[in-house]
Amino acid sequence: MILHGLLFRPFVAAHRVRWAILVRERSARRGLMTAHDLESAVSARVDRRIFRRIQPMPQKDKHWKLVYTRSEKLRRAEQLGMEYPCVEGLQLAERECVNVLFVCSRNQWRSPTAERVFRRHPLMSVRSAGTSPNARRTISADDLRWADVVMAMEHKHRDRIVAGFPRLVEHTPIHVLDIPDDYREMDPELIELLAQTVPPLLFG
């Protein structure tokens, strides 16, 4: 503290002199202040300026506008009439959202539609993939490590996942939606089926 005061003493003195000259000149022209008032005003003005310079500026999070807090997600879920995610076999009390992987055959119509429908859901983080080697995006081990829940469109998709990645899905719930390959991407009937079947499986 002593060193701090010694370092700032010349700085304080210089500013006091500068402000004293400036205020005295203005006051002399106007004749509005006494010598005592003048000294008090100069001292207070200088002290305020020095305090602002010495005080460190608060650090702000550059991405604070992008933060979507847990409390806001809970409030949004309450508005939608949903409960906070409670997936069987998973401890999600400290999680902000559920990672959901939608799977069909070629990742062409059904699973991409599901991904688009639930992409902006406040309590879900979604991906989509296909079980076929010729799929637009073939399911991978990384997808299954990421997923908390897998939503398969048909029983054959679940069977292929279990056969190809038995250890990775040993403790991962796989739900079969029973949605046949009868729909194009973003088909209104497909969207309605997804809206009716997916939320009850995740949120009860």
Q: The tokens of 62 are what?
A: 């550059």
Do 45 and 71 sit in the same domain of this protein?
no
Last residue within a domain, chosen from 54, 78, 96 = 54
Same domain flag for 137 and 162: yes
Residues 87 and 173 in one domain: yes
Residue bearing the bigger pLDDT, 145 or 24: 145
Task: Say whether both 99 and 24 belong to one domain.
Answer: no
Number of domains comprising the chain = 2
Contact 149, 98 (CB under 8 A): yes
Q: What is the pLDDT of residues 129-140, one digit of tens each?
A: 999 999 999 999
The CATH number covering residue 142 comes to 3.40.50.2300
Q: What is the pTM of this model?
A: 0.56
119 and 147, same domain (yes or no):
yes
At residue 84, the 3 state secondary structure works out as coil
**Whole-number mean pLDDT of the chain?**
76
Q: Is 59 part of a structural domain of the chain?
A: no
In this structure, the number of other CB atoms found within 10 A of the CB of residue 127 comes to: 19
Helix (H) or strand (E) holding 2: helix 2-30
